[in-house]
Amino acid sequence: MAEQAIAARLTPLPAEALPLTQCIGRTLREDIYAERDNPPFDRVCMDGIAIASAAFDRGVRRFRIQAMQPAGAPALTLAGPDDAVEVTTGAIMPRGSDCVIPLEEYDIAGGAAALKAEARGTPYRNVQRRGEDSRPGVPMLKAGMRLGAPEIAVAASAGRACVRVSRQPRLMVVSTGDELVEPGEPIAEHQVRRSNAYAIVAALREHGLVDVADDHLPDDETLLHERLGQHLAGHDALILSGGVSKGKFDLVPKVLKELGVQEVFHQVAQRPGMPMWFGIAARGRLVFGLPGNPVSTLLCLTRYVLPAITAAMGAARTPPEPIVLAAPFKPGRSLTYFLPVSVRHDEHGRVRAEPRPPNGSGDFLALAGTQGFVELPPRTDAFPEGFVADLYRW
């Protein structure tokens, strides 16, 4: 399969140490351990008074307010069994106490807290025990995780100002074709807009990849040889759109071979996107030749290119999401079929994939408003409503 052929030739990107403020969206390349027990002390979970539960068990219902202990203050010690310390959420438990009675369960008058009838004084009520979340020596975060806001917070709680993450790959998006014209430029009747490159760059950046450049090359063998050679030397991966089919002006595979790029496969038994090309250049650089039709380009990018790049960054693989078809669909040919879908909830709240088949692989308008595509196995007869397929989101 194409996916396995790509995975077998991936070279991990190097790691670098970065400040936490620069690590959002990056792939973690080391395990993160707690620097101490987490929480590091028995922690108050609600505003109230800290008491000794043994006093409550003896029938004490009125406690002298000894002092106030806010979060961030050193632990006080209960002066006596019938005393209480006012505490705030996040504070360390006063020594000698093991229970927090919340504000709504007592009244304060004359420097004492009188418990209401519904008050409960069980041991460690509203207290998070020391080390309950994690302890030193046990990873809090594992290498391969994507660092979002929760993971950044965990790393900060471990005292880490910097962590090792994957370096961002240097990516070059190349579209080929004399017929392509930039948006905003005058266009002739026989020309089309250069849209594929914009879709590819947008998808890469949407997935947190920021070191992305793009180039447009005409169908000129000499210029292709020169510019692709430059791009191979300066980037970790090339993502090409167009020029990989069997036509007279599909020059990309020939030029890449001349540049020393080893072809791994050319054509995949799938629809759309059959002409896809993949090869490996010097120092493990990846070269993806995507078909020039817009639907094929985005589908192949999502199915193969993005997973390969994230894997090279050391990210743990995210399996596709199973989803059921909301309506039957007949592909027509016995090939793996990528079917664009809109993801919606039915009247019972169940997630369903509504088929949105394009009118050919050039019908990029059909992709607007979809959330991804499902992969259907080779089959000539119709897939029924309720068929479970793998969903790949854009």
Q: Quick one: what percent of the chain has pLDDT higher than 90?
A: 83
Q: What confidence tens digit (pLDDT) does each residue in 286-312 have? A: 999 999 899 999 999 999 999 999 999
Question: Could you say which architecture CATH assigns to the domain 43-128?
Answer: Beta Complex (2.170)
3-state SS record for the chain: CHHHHHHCCCCCCCEEEEEHHHCCCCEECCCEECCCCECCCCEECCCEEEECHHHHHCCCCEEEEEEEECCCCCCCECCCCCEEEEECCCCECCECCCEEEEHHHEEEECCEEEECCCCCCCCCCCEECCCCCECCCCEEECCCCECCHHHHHHHHHCCCCEEEEECCCCEEEEEECCCEECCCCCCCCCCEECCHHHHHHHHHHHCCCCCEEEEEECCCHHHHHHHHHHHHHHCCEEEEECCCCCCCCCCHHHHHHHCCCEEEEECCCEECCCCCEEEECHHHCEEEEECCCHHHHHHHHHHHHHHHHHHHCCCCCCCCEEEEECCCECCCCCCEEEEEEEEEECCCCCEEEEECCCCCCCCHHHHCCCCEEEEECCCCCCECCCCEEEEEEC
Q: What is the pLDDT of residue 104?
A: 97
Q: What's the mean pLDDT in 49-75?
A: 97
- Does position 329 have pLDDT exceeding 60, yes or no? yes
Least confident among 38-42, 148-152, 192-196, 318-322: 192-196
- Would you list the domain boundaries of the chain? 3-38+133-166, 43-128, 168-312, 321-393
Q: What confidence tens digit (pLDDT) does each residue in 308-319 have? A: 999 999 998 889
Q: What's the mean pLDDT in 133-162?
A: 94
Confidence of residue 252 (pLDDT cuts 50, 70, 90): confident
Say which CATH topology domain 3-38+133-166 has: Molybdopterin biosynthesis moea protein, domain 2 (3.90.105)
Q: What is the pLDDT of residue 361?
A: 77
Confidence of residue 249 (pLDDT cuts 50, 70, 90): low
Q: What confidence tens digit (pLDDT) does each residue in 253-298 have? A: 899 999 999 999 999 999 999 999 999 999 999 999 999 899 999 9
Q: What is the pLDDT of residue 155?
A: 96
Q: What is the pLDDT of residue 114?
A: 98
Choose the CATH number for 321-393 among 3.40.50.12280, 2.40.340.10, 2.30.30.60, 1.10.260.40: 2.40.340.10
Say which CATH topology domain 168-312 has: Molybdenum Cofactor Biosythetic Enzyme; Chain A (3.40.980)
- Does position 248 have pLDDT exceeding 90, yes or no? no
